[in-house]
Amino acid sequence: MAASILSKIEELAKSRNVPCKAVLVGSAARNTWLSGDHDMDIFIAMPEDQDLGLALEIARLVAPHHEEKYAEHAYVHATLDCFEIDLVPCYQVKDASRIKSAVDRTPFHNEYITARVRGLEDEVLLLKQFMKGIGVYGSELRVGGFSGYLVELLVISFGSFPGVLRSAENWRPNEVIFAPESSQIWRDLFHEDPLVVIDPVDPKRNVAAALTLDRMFQFVAAARCFLKQPSLDFFFPAAFLPLSDEEVLGHMERRKSALIVIELPVPHLSEDILFPQLRKAEHSIAALFELHGFDVLRSDALLSGGSGFREDDDRASGFLEAGPGSCQSAGSGDEGIARLLFELEVWELSSVKRHPGPPVWEAEHVERFLSRHIETISGPYIQGGRAVVEISRRYTEPRGLLEREMVKLALGKHIRQQVEKGYRIYLGQEILQIRDLEFRSFLARYFLQHNHLKQLQ
Amino acid sequence: MAASILSKIEELAKSRNVPCKAVLVGSAARNTWLSGDHDMDIFIAMPEDQDLGLALEIARLVAPHHEEKYAEHAYVHATLDCFEIDLVPCYQVKDASRIKSAVDRTPFHNEYITARVRGLEDEVLLLKQFMKGIGVYGSELRVGGFSGYLVELLVISFGSFPGVLRSAENWRPNEVIFAPESSQIWRDLFHEDPLVVIDPVDPKRNVAAALTLDRMFQFVAAARCFLKQPSLDFFFPAAFLPLSDEEVLGHMERRKSALIVIELPVPHLSEDILFPQLRKAEHSIAALFELHGFDVLRSDALLSGGSGFREDDDRASGFLEAGPGSCQSAGSGDEGIARLLFELEVWELSSVKRHPGPPVWEAEHVERFLSRHIETISGPYIQGGRAVVEISRRYTEPRGLLEREMVKLALGKHIRQQVEKGYRIYLGQEILQIRDLEFRSFLARYFLQHNHLKQLQ
């Protein structure tokens, strides 16, 4: 498959006198390709003094039914024989420190790994599937996990799959791995990153920059559990089956909390654009609840339907893909549905709330504070040396709060547009009206929400 | 009145050959006596080498119907012609640094003030009545306000009633007044006291040690308000009238909070013993609520009936005493009633609660944490790098919590005994069953709970 595309590119280049080279990169090039994956990356590398547009033109001809995407430069995405193929123009630079854009670095990664991974391919595959099983594989924003390249570097660094796990057992935040010199330099340079893995082809870069603290320690916890009690479940966890109405009610009865779903249609856009906006909306709304006195127990977000995100949702839900035999369409281009789930501790708050002001000895602040709070239910009085008033709460229940305040929030651009057009709020048992199976699986995962820490109990 | 008691003491001393001297001390001795007061302190001073028991014997004979009380030493308390009289044996020491017990210091205070207060008596009376009106007069534990001696020192220090107010406007926590040397020494010595007023007869002592931060700044705030807009209301505030059922319901409707009263009988003991225990119980129970997830908006305590505390309750409630004409019995010796009022934000909490554990990188702590939480509703999962479980809340409503947990708390000794014998809980509208007028006035004060800060609005 890859070979035929590569030769087609070279044929086209020859006939049009374009001095480019086609390279298969990524896991497909290095035999570290998970059997569930259908991605193939082919880079079309041009000399530095040439126009990338010529390479893009060739890419378009290779796959007549394609869609053009855009990262730092335009590239072509196509589905050929069940494979998702990216055809990416890039520059052939002399060394990785002179790259013109991030994609130019990829051939260097390919070269570095290819030269060192031989004999370790199975270890890489084990680690990838392990990470996939526990939900930490993938560097896209929604997952915030480990990239394929990072996995390969870890295996090369620690020699084997169990070698990586044994190392991970003792990781701490801001762990530095693969540092060519003293760790402290890199720790200072990347002091906000939970894991620092210096890119061997470009030492100014942290390969693990996209990894979040929680994904990192989900891996650490799973490593500990697996070493203590190995099991195939880590690689192939049981799926979360969609909950029936009775099961949902059972969970609600056991939790006696205030469950709220906000549902809105979202436009046909790639998950890497939509999901960060959805998370931003989730965090803004959670902060809104807290600001108004509603303690948020937990929240989560789900993107369903539409194109671009199905594959990754499955991964996050703990589902594994159906395998290379079943080829699904990546999406119809329809709108998708975004759902935000919030769990509050209570449905209703007191009308009165305490509002502490400045210390009494700051006379001017006190005067200003008091002049802003003429209408009080109780007070002003003095407590802990501060002026305190008790005033009316603006919202005592969540629906009113959402209906009036949500539109004022910093939501992502596309989420905001939808919220302005219309959305729907489900409170408590109204959530049963959502009959979508993907959502019911998401609820199952939400309610249990355990990972392999369970096995340390 | 005082003169006749003094001569009676000297007569008795002479006839029994006891070498004591009777001294009228306190405000009665210095014409700084508020018209509502009925207290008179007479000290029976013995030479240092004599037995205080002889002086006590004389005190007993002066007032045949008396009760014996005990501070550092025994003394006699009696009601004579509507006056509350304390007859206190003490030692005549050479100077105040050589005192044997706190009461021996009083004659020195008396001497110091008497020599300096002449011409300032009206200023002292104004300041005392002002403080009484705003609820900060009295150094007993329950009030935590300004003692009579402290008021006199302030007036002597700042020259007049308005002089004290103008100074107070700028007071800050740990303010030092009347320091014979550099303030810093005293600030270091009394660094935890909100106000430091060095005792001129004993510089190791802070006269304002009993003053709380809140009473101090209640005075500061009132001083500012009074100087801005003087009014007789500061001296003679309107009483809080007992609320009718409709008024109580109106306040409840406006607040929509969870109001709870715990009622228990208390033994016949002095307020200075009982009230601190009651406050301790109040704080322990408030902490219990918070520990179990119930946010406490505010709480308060009231001692009613019985002997010993009626006078001070009136003072705190903003009531002024009826004046010297009406003489009430100080109490029948019956049991009194203590009531603790708690206002929570909600009546009911979710069954599920988040319980965060240690960071995942502390492997041993995590194992211990997980082994303590086998039964979870959700989790364990990782959030913010920590292991988190969601577990069942033990109490989702306040009655069960109080009934099971209150007896285990650190309550004062006498409160604890009563709680073990039996108490009563009133929730929400059940509070209307309490028809006691003093309690209804207390509720009025609780619901409004404003002080003169109001006038700065």
Give the full edge-to-edge strand order of the sheet including A352-359: A352-359, A386-392, A378-383
CB A256 to CB B379 under 8 A?
no
| Cα dihedral A377, A381, A387, A393 in deg (nearest 10) | -20
**Residue A422 forms beta bridges with which residues?**
none
Chain B touched by A151 (CB under 8 Å): no
Distance of CA B125 to the CA centre of its chain: 21
Residues 223-252 of B with CB under 8 A from A: 224
| Cα dihedral B301, B305, B309, B310 in deg (nearest 10) | 100
Q: Which of A345, A389, A446 to mutate to test the interface with B (most CBs of B within 10 A)?
A: A345
Contact assessment for residue B26 and residue B38, using Cβ atoms and an 8 Å cutoff: no
How far apart CA B134 and CA A356 sit, in angstroms, is: 21
Distance (Å) of CA B384 to CA A452, B361, B436: 17, 12, 52
Question: Could you tell me the two tokens for B417?
Answer: 């005994």
Contacts of A379 in chain B (CB under 8 A): 449-450, 453
Q: Tell me the CA end-to-end span of chain A in Å, nearest whole number.
A: 47
Q: Determine which helix (DSSP H) or strand (DSSP E) holds A261, and give its type and residue range.
A: strand A258-266
Helix axes A148-158, A106-117, angle to 10 degrees: 30
Task: Tell me what ipTM this predicted complex has.
Answer: 0.82
In this complex, which of B350, B380, B450 lies closest to A346 when CB atoms are compared? B350
How far apart CA A305 and CA A434 sit, in angstroms, is: 14
Residues 282-321 of B with CB under 8 A from A: 293, 297-298
In this complex, which of A224, A370, A387 lies closest to B363 when CB atoms are compared? A224
pLDDT at residue B382 in the model: 93
- By C-alpha distance, the chain A residue nearest B343 is A350
Task: Indicate if the pLDDT at residue B318 is higher than 80.
Answer: no
- Which band of pLDDT confidence, cut at 50, 70 and 90, is reported for residue B314? very low
Distance (Å) of CA B426 to CA A393, B101, B399, B402: 25, 45, 9, 11
Contact assessment for residue B58 and residue B10, using Cβ atoms and an 8 Å cutoff: no
How far apart CA B212 and CA B193 sit, in angstroms, is: 8
Dihedral of CA A187/A188/A193/A196: which sign?
negative
pLDDT tens digits, B233-278 = 999 988 899 999 999 999 999 999 999 999 999 888 878 788 889 9
Residues 196-225 of A with CB under 8 A from B: 213-214, 217-218, 220-221, 224
How far apart CA A54 and CA A89 sit, in angstroms, is: 9
Work out the percent of chain B whose per-residue pLDDT is above 90: 52
CB B379 to CB A169 under 8 A?
no
Contact assessment for residue B75 and residue B59, using Cβ atoms and an 8 Å cutoff: yes
pLDDT at residue B274 in the model: 87
CB B450 to CB A380 under 8 A?
yes
At A383 the three-state DSSP class reads strand
pLDDT at residue B34 in the model: 80
User: A108: distance to nearest CA of chain B, Å?
Assistant: 33
Task: Label the pairing between strands B258-266 and B424-427.
Answer: antiparallel
Tell me, what DSSP letter sits at residue B137? B
- By C-alpha distance, the chain B residue nearest A447 is B378
Tell me, what DSSP letter sits at residue B237? P
pLDDT tens digits, B134-155 = 999 998 888 899 999 999 999 9
- Which band of pLDDT confidence, cut at 50, 70 and 90, is reported for residue B105? confident
Contacts of A348 in chain B (CB under 8 A): 346
How far apart CA A154 and CA A167 sit, in angstroms, is: 10
- Which band of pLDDT confidence, cut at 50, 70 and 90, is reported for residue B68? confident
Q: Which of B174, B217, B347 to mutate to test the interface with A (most CBs of A within 10 A)?
A: B217
CB A447 to CB B378 under 8 A?
yes
User: B449: distance to nearest CA of chain A, Å?
Assistant: 5
In order, the DSSP letters of B160-198 are SHHHHHHHHTT--TTEEES-SS-HHHHHHHTTT-SEEEE
Task: Indicate if the pLDDT at residue B439 is higher than 50.
Answer: yes
Chain B touched by A163 (CB under 8 Å): no
Task: Indicate if the pLDDT at residue B38 is higher than 60.
Answer: yes
pLDDT at residue B96 in the model: 76
Chain A touched by B418 (CB under 8 Å): no
How far apart CA A29 and CA A114 sit, in angstroms, is: 8
How far apart CA B336 and CA B56 sit, in angstroms, is: 30
Contacts of A382 in chain B (CB under 8 A): 214, 217-218, 221, 451, 453
| CB count in 10 Å sphere of residue B150 | 25
CB B348 to CB A346 under 8 A?
yes
pLDDT at residue B92 in the model: 87
Tell me the pLDDT of chain A (457 aa) as tens digits: 788 889 889 888 888 888 888 888 888 888 888 876 778 889 998 888 888 888 888 888 888 788 888 777 888 888 887 788 889 998 888 877 778 888 888 889 999 999 999 999 999 999 999 999 999 999 888 889 999 999 999 999 999 999 999 999 999 999 988 776 666 777 778 888 999 999 998 888 899 999 999 999 999 999 999 999 999 999 998 889 999 999 999 999 999 999 999 999 988 877 878 888 899 999 999 999 999 999 999 999 999 875 433 333 333 333 333 333 333 333 344 678 999 999 999 999 999 999 999 999 999 999 999 999 988 999 899 999 999 999 999 999 999 999 999 988 878 788 888 888 889 999 999 999 999 999 999 999 999 887 667 666 6
Task: Indicate if the pLDDT at residue B183 is higher than 80.
Answer: no
C-alpha closest to that of B300 among B444, B145, B194: B444
- Which band of pLDDT confidence, cut at 50, 70 and 90, is reported for residue B320? very low
pLDDT tens digits, B40-56 = 889 998 888 888 888 88
Chain A touched by B369 (CB under 8 Å): no
Amino acid at B245: D
Chain A touched by B13 (CB under 8 Å): no
Percentages helix, strand, coil for chain A (3-state, rounded to 5) are: 45, 25, 35
Contacts of B361 in chain A (CB under 8 A): 170-173, 217, 220
Task: Indicate if the pLDDT at residue B456 is higher than 70.
Answer: no
pLDDT tens digits, B402-432 = 999 998 887 878 888 888 888 999 999 999 9
C-alpha closest to that of B354 among A296, A289, A251, A302: A296
pLDDT at residue A249 in the model: 97
CB A378 to CB B220 under 8 A?
no
CB B376 to CB A169 under 8 A?
no
Chain B touched by A168 (CB under 8 Å): no
At A19 the three-state DSSP class reads coil
Contact assessment for residue A22 and residue A61, using Cβ atoms and an 8 Å cutoff: no
Question: Could you tell me the two tokens for B75?
Answer: 């003394």
pLDDT tens digits, B193-233 = 999 999 998 888 899 999 999 999 999 999 999 999 999 99
Amino acid at A216: M
CB A387 to CB B354 under 8 A?
no
Chain B touched by A60 (CB under 8 Å): no
Query: Is the model more confident about B39 or about B123?
Result: B123
In this complex, which of B173, B381, B454 lies closest to A361 when CB atoms are compared? B173
pLDDT at residue B195 in the model: 95
How far apart CA B266 and CA B185 sit, in angstroms, is: 44
How far apart CA A316 and CA A143 sit, in angstroms, is: 7
pLDDT at residue B329 in the model: 37
